[in-house]
Structure 1
Amino acid sequence: MSEKKQNSPPPSYPPPAYNYSTAAYTATTYEPGQVLPNEGAPGQTVIFRQPHAQPPPNDYIVFAIVVTACCCLPFGIVGIVKALDARNKYDIGDYAAAESSSRAARSWSIAGVVCGVFWMMIPIVFWLVWVFAIRPDVFDSLMNAVEDGSIRTTDTYY
C-alpha cells in the first residue's frame, strides 16, 4: 500500500554570516559640490549636492520648439540649445548662468518669431505690389466681378 508522507518543512540552512562593523560612525558635514572621501570603491567619485535654494528659471523650451517648427528653424535651434543650457546650468547650481541662458533662449526665440513673420510677409507684399502696381487689370477685373454680382460679398456661409 501507499504510505502517506507527512508535510515537513524544508531542511533548515544556517543563516549567512554577516560581517557587521562595530566601528562608530561619526557625523560629518560636507559643503555642496565637495567631493566625498571614497573608501573601498577605487575609481569612483561621489559628489554631495543639496537641494536648490532657488526655483529654476523659465527656460522657454516650448517657445523655442514652436519657433523651430513654425517660424524660423535656425533661430529656433539656437533657442533650444540655450534653453537646455539653462537647465544644465541650474542643475549644477550656477543660477546666474542659468538666468543668462534663459534670457538668451527667450531672445533667440523672439528673434525667430520676428524673422519668421518678416519672411511670411514678403510673399504677401510681393503679391499686393503685383496686383495693384504691375497688373492693375487683375484688380479691375476683380472689382468689376464684385459690381456685376458674380462675386457676392454680402453672403454669409456658416
Structure 2
Amino acid sequence: MNPSKESSTPLQDWTEEKSPMGHPAPPPYQDAPYPEMPPPGPGYPPQQGFPPQYGGPAYGHQPYPMVHQYPAQPGTVTVQPTVFVSAGPLANPVNDYLGYSIFTLLFCCLPLGVAALIYSISAREANHVGDQVTAERSSRMARTLNHVALGLGIGGLILTLVFVKVLLSA
C-alpha cells in the first residue's frame, strides 16, 4: 500500500463501463415479440385455444374445447361481511385453585406457592378463553404444586416444633 496515493482514486485500468464477464449482450427490445398476435386492446379477444408459446406451439397442447358458455357476470360485486369466531368461556369451568395457591404462597412454601399461583392464573385465563385442555393441564399442575407446598409447610412446622421442644428441654 502506497501512503502517498489517496484511497479514493480509481485503479489505473478502471473503466466506467460494466464488465460483460464473458456473457453475451442481451437481445434488443422488441415492441411486438409475436407479430401474429393481435395488439392488446380494451379487452382480450376471444381465443379458440392456447396462444403460441415462445414463438411456436407447445408440445402436446391442444385447443381447449369451448363446450360450456358461462353466463354474463353482473357489474356489481357483493362483499360478504367478515365473521370473527371466538370461543367463549367454558360452560363448566375447571377449578383453578387460586385461593389455595395464595395460601401456600403466604404460609407454606414461597417458591412453590409462586409457581402454583402462576399455574392457577393460567388455568383461570384458559377457562375464560374456552381452552379446556390448557385449563385442565394448568389446574392439575397448580393442584400438585399446592399439595407439595402444603406438605413441605406442614413438615417444616413439625420439624420446627420438635426442634424448639428439644432445645427447651435440654
Report the TM-score, using the length of structure 1 for normalisation: 0.51
Matches of 1:88 and 1:53, distance apart in 2? 11
- Residue in 2 aligned with 1:98? 135
Partner of residue 37, structure 2: none
Q: Which has the higher Rg, Structure 1 or Structure 2?
A: 2
1:109 maps to what in 2? Answer: 146
Amino acid at match of 1:86: A
Q: How far did residue 79 of structure 1 move?
A: 0.7
Matches within 5 A, 1:43-122: 47-52=84-89, 54-122=91-159
Alignment of 1:127-142 (within 5 A): 127-132=164-169, 135=170
Cα displacement string for residues 13-58 of structure 1 (whole angstroms, at most 9, x for unaligned residues): xxxxxxxxxx9896x7xxxxxxx46xxxxxxxxx422434531101
Aligned residue pairs total 94
Aligned-residue offset at 1:98: 0.8
**Closer, same or farther: CA 97–74 of 1 in aligned 2, 3 Å:** same
CA contact (8 A) 2:98 2:117 kept: yes
Q: Percent identity?
A: 27
Structure number with the higher helix fraction is: 1
Q: Give SS of 1:122's match.
A: helix
Q: How far does the alpha carbon of each residue in 1:116-155 deviate from its partner, in whole angstroms, 9 at most, with x for none?
A: 11111222111233355xx2xxxxxxxxxxxxxxxxxxxx
> Counterpart of 1:123?
160
- Asked whether the 8 Å contact 2:87–2:129 carries over to 1, the reply is no
CA RMSD of aligned residues (A): 2.6
> CA 1:80 to 1:88, structure 2 compared with 1: closer, same or farther past 3 Å?
same
In structure 2, stretches of 5+ residues that fail to align are 1-76
AA partner of residue 55 (structure 1): N
TM-score (norm 2): 0.47
